[in-house]
Amino acid sequence: MCRVRSQLRPLFDRVVIKELDPDRVRRSGLVVPAGTNEPPPQHGIVLAVGPGIDWWESAGLQMPVRPGDHVVFPASAGAWVEVEEERLLVCRVGELLGVLEQVKDCPECGGRELAAGDTCPVCGRTGATA
């Protein structure tokens, strides 16, 4: 007998996100200041996006994220569901905090060689140790 796999298709302006493990969040440079009671933002990969809302097209709007985008969202975003034993977040696109993009040339260090032990405060790149 053939087993049918389920896939969650979001409706309207919703997206489906697979959360990445917390270690990836720390490496991405997301930092919550000490003393705050709010949980840190979470990081995940967009698996599916809805078509948007019917009036968006007439206003020239389209979904700002695509499957494969790495996004940041607050701990309070959306609803968690389990599909095929996988925990997924379904939330409105407006709840997302942003899309993590790779920057080829850092606006701070511009990709230039850094002195040994120096770290760029923007991209986090460190200078080679001698």
Which amino acid is located at 129 in the chain?
T
Which residues in the chain come in under a pLDDT of 50? 23-27, 32
Tokens 């000490």 correspond to what residue?
A: 34
Task: Report CA 54 to chain centroid distance, whole Å.
Answer: 25
Q: What is the pTM of this model?
A: 0.67
Give the model's pLDDT for residue 2: 63
**35-45 exposure pattern, b = at least 16 Cβ within 10 A, e = fewer:** eeeeeebbbbb
